[in-house]
Structure 1
């Protein structure tokens, strides 16, 4: 079991399946889960937290029954346990006002429009997870083969420099 979770939230099962399929390259190092609603996403986050798994990245649709994705991302940004989670809005329907609201409330790190290209999704996820891991891990060496190697190595070197190592 991984210590970090990637959560995909979308009310369309075929979209979820497609995202999960595109993220298969991360499953050796991250728990990858899907939720078809905000309520289900909250349950997944709570269940994973009881197992000590932290929400590293959420990919969330905007227009869903019951609750809007942007509102959920803002909610996560305001909770201490998920404030540092990397948040990606993966949608074809968020208006400018909703997107600006998410950005202004520090709850959106990236906007990705549907339909997406697998290479773009993988690149965005890699970039966002690299930022998360650099901020949360003291030992970055194991991540060099998984995430953005140049950024990880740069962070390792910066950490050595900050610690006074030569």
Structure 2
């Protein structure tokens, strides 16, 4: 099974820790990384790229030091390496204009309002990671127990033994 990363970008340590804690059910199948700001996130993304680890999901706060999360997501959507990455805005601060921009220009896949519930966050993450795995050449059966199992099993019929779509 190929390693896939989840990146959490959140400047408040308590909130970042809570998100990472709520992602615990995914930790055995996905590499969970955390960044406190955009500069830190760029460094993590560079390291993952050097290690050839795809980023399946970015959970990004909107109000970050020095920039807006929506601006960062627009930047990532423009990059070839992160265009397919599922993008989730996790915030209580984004206004309608920023949210619409994130959807239209950053390919925003999901919006989670703070405060969130662990179950709600995990449901959104499960859905978005299922979409990412189905959209790539991954061994979908390796993710059946943690993602949307029925969808992945159905998709396995259309893949070769290495997980590539046929």
TM-score calculated relative to the size of structure 2: 0.92
Q: Which sections of structure 2, spanning at least 5 residues, go unmatched?
A: none
- Give how far 1:144 is off: 1.2
Per-residue CA deviations over 1:64-97 (Å, capped at 9, x if unaligned) read 1111000000100000000000000000000000
Retained in 2: the 8 A contact 1:3–1:52?
no
Q: CA deviation at 1:3?
A: 2.0
Output one character per residue of 1:132-163: Cα deviation in whole Å (capped at 9) or x when no partner.
Answer: 00111343221212210011122224558x95
TM-score scaled by length of structure 1: 0.92
Instruction: Tell me the number of residue pairs that the alignment of Structure 1 and Structure 2 aligns.
Output: 162
CA contact 2:73–2:106 (8 Å) conserved in 1: no
> How far apart are the structure 2 equivalents of 1:127 and 1:67?
28
Note the residue ranges of structure 1 that are not aligned, 5 or more in a row.
none
Compute the RMSD of aligned alpha carbons.
1.8
Q: State how 1:133-152 maps to structure 2 within 5 Å.
A: 133-152=133-152
Q: Indicate if the aligned counterparts of 2:2 and 2:139 stay in contact, CA closer than 8 A.
A: no
Matched, 1:4 2:4: yes
Q: Indicate conservation of the 8 Å contact 2:89/2:108, yes or no.
A: yes
